[in-house]
Chains A and B, each alone.
Chain A
């Protein structure tokens, strides 16, 4: 168990961490290449969508042939994508490398695929906790890599910093050897109770799966809206850039605690209640943040609270899916739920910008975030966590 947990956590630390600092390259790349912010932002938006789309297929392949091979390919794609970001001669190539290649790479070496292994290799009595540890590792990676990447850009230059990261990300490949699963060797997949189509039909007909997807959509919307637009919001309100930096640092720090605590609690308490609490607490935190007079202190308190609630949905949602549907198709089902998260993320960023341009403030998007949080809390409460009852399939099916 320790080997799976350590290697899985290290892989997620690297894969989640490196991408988290991409915003730091906006200015140096656009200035050096003479591109616009829209060019850069479009590539990153494509990356997020590609991550969601490829996640479904990476999950299918990982469930069928073992996650080890998927992670190795993802590490190579990640390295190629980072090198491509550094060396792209045109916007189109940049979009292909930073967008498609890195999005596909993330699909293969982040939560959905690693959680599939954790689900299969770690006993149910410790599964949610282990997922919490892996999520905390990803959160730690995000927290760690922002200043590290800032330092790399300052000391090496933006292009060399990307090339250094492309070498660093190759560490994922040897770590993947610690995640080889018995039963997937020699190209043979272990026998499964259901085919992919049967698993998909079952999940999409099951209301609780749809509810978990709806909740994750809200998670993506809120987290990415706040992560991307909060510095701009604080600037509009006359707060200094340092306050924005500290706010993001606090979100990162408390996110580590939040994901670990959520995973640990999910081992003992009803997951649906934890998820409902997280979404409702986000809405309450946003309401208080908007009502209380804005000051650096109120920003720091809000950031710490939101940090605790940030990715804490990840281990709880994944453990719920594993508990309901089992682990044979966990990566694929996790991929579908994550796709819903990415659609929410895309809308959070896009609507944030669009409504700001139209109205001159973020008020409407804050209100949407509050309403969505309440909605997600309500839809998660009736989720049925018990393993789904299946009628035995005839032999040879």
Chain B
């Protein structure tokens, strides 16, 4: 595998990981929990 391919693979894996974590934030139950907890700090 060439260096370029390995770099592309590494960048692809990093982006996939980031999107997977971002997806955590979009799940309704986590959103509600997080939003409630964030909100409670400022009430």
Contact = CB atoms under 8 A, between A and B. Distances in A.
Interface string A232-245: 10010000111011
B13 interface: no
Contacts of B24: 147-148
B38 A248 contact: yes
Q: In terms of DSSP, what is the predominant structure of the interface of chain A?
A: helix
A143 B30 contact: no
B8 interface: no
A148 B38 CA distance: 14
Given A151-B30, A244-B35, A245-B34, A26 B40 contact: yes
A144 B21 contact: yes
A256 B38 contact: no
A242 B40 contact: no
Interface in A355-387: none
Contacts of A253: 18, 21-22
A249 B39 contact: no
Contacts of A24: 34, 37-38
A140 B38 CA distance: 20
Contacts of B40: 26-27
Contacts of A244: 35, 38-39
The number of chain A residues touching the other chain, given as a range, is 20 to 34
Interface in B8-43: 17-18, 21-22, 24-25, 30-31, 33-42
A245 B18 contact: no
Given A140-B18, A246-B25, A256-B18, A150 B39 contact: no
Contact of A241 (B17, B22, B25, B36): B36
Nearest to B41: A26
Contact of B33 (A37, A140, A143, A150): A150
A154 interface: yes
Contacts of B41: 23, 26-27, 37, 231
A148 B25 CA distance: 10
A248 B22 CA distance: 11
Given A24-B34, A151-B30, A153-B33, 9 more contacts: A23-B37, A23-B41, A27-B40, A37-B41, A146-B34, A154-B33, A241-B38, A241-B39, A249-B22
Interface of B: 17-18, 21-22, 24-25, 30-31, 33-42
Interface of A: 23-24, 26-27, 37, 140, 143-144, 146-148, 150-151, 153-154, 231-232, 235, 240-242, 244-246, 248-249, 253, 256
